[in-house]
Amino acid sequence: MGDEGIIVGSNAIGERLLDWFWENYSKTNSYPVFFADFGLSEKGRKWCLERGALEHCSNPFFQNNEAHIPEERKKLWEETHGKSIWQSRHFWYKKPFACLKSPFKKTIWIDIDCRVEKNLSGLFDLLQQDVELAICKDTLTPFNLILKRPTYNSGVIAFHQNSPIISKWVELASTQFDQFLGDQDALSHAITQTDSPFYELDPIYNWSWHFPESKETVITHFHGNGKSKILSERTQAL
């Protein structure tokens, strides 16, 4: 599919954001897109195939078995993310496997609740030979006080094919998913567990929608309740 490309992933619930994502992305970019099918509807699959490559991606090892998670940890996760956390984890833990399947030498994973504001060539350029992966710190929670390490936001990840960090991430998502709330926590741990060089991106590449708008922003991330904001604005515009 080419040396440089984009990966996005969705299931049937999230696919209502695909039009919005594509509308913004295609204004300034023409890189090929690999769509990871996390459980799309037939309509969603057809939509993706009309715009790029599509492949079903899953985590064959993941078991969302709450019984194996300590009660204290389970309670904490539910208090911070609600009861829906158990459904969300099914979706989140497919992301590492989607990245592992990337057909590109250089890849940028972008969550579909991200609005691409500018051309992404500068982000690809940051992936030099001595940089395996580039990622932003989580601007809202840059340091996990419980796990005692930096937290990186997995909404935007630039990486080389066969990156050891991605391989370690997949390993954790296969064997230690009960230790981490989601893919982001597992990736943050993987970064600290490998010696591979990575680059800490400027926040403009994963700019929280909670922050004031900036002319420098390359990607705005509408995480959390931002998805409702997107859908509300699109409904009003119709």
Per-residue pLDDT reduced to its tens digit, 18-28: 999 999 999 99
Examine the pLDDT at 10 and tell me if it is beyond 70.
yes
Q: What percentage of the chain exceeds 70 in pLDDT?
A: 93
Distance CA 238, CA 225 (A): 21
Residue 7's DSSP bridge partners are 34, 109
Distance CA 53, CA 37 (A): 10
Residue 143: pLDDT band (50, 70, 90) is low
Examine the pLDDT at 139 and tell me if it is beyond 70.
yes
Q: What's the pLDDT score for residue 129?
A: 76
Q: What's the pLDDT score for residue 42?
A: 98
- Domain 4-237 sits in CATH at 3.90.550.10
Q: What's the pLDDT score for residue 184?
A: 94
Distance CA 21, CA 93 (A): 21
Q: Residue 22: how many CB atoms within 10 A of its CB?
A: 18
Residue 238: pLDDT band (50, 70, 90) is very low
Q: Are 54 and 10 in contact (CB under 8 A)?
A: no
pTM: 0.94
Q: At what angle do helices 42-49 and 18-28 cross, to 10 degrees?
A: 10
Distance CA 204, CA 4 (A): 20
Q: Which pLDDT tens digit goes with each residue over 147-178?
A: 667 899 999 999 999 999 999 999 999 999 99
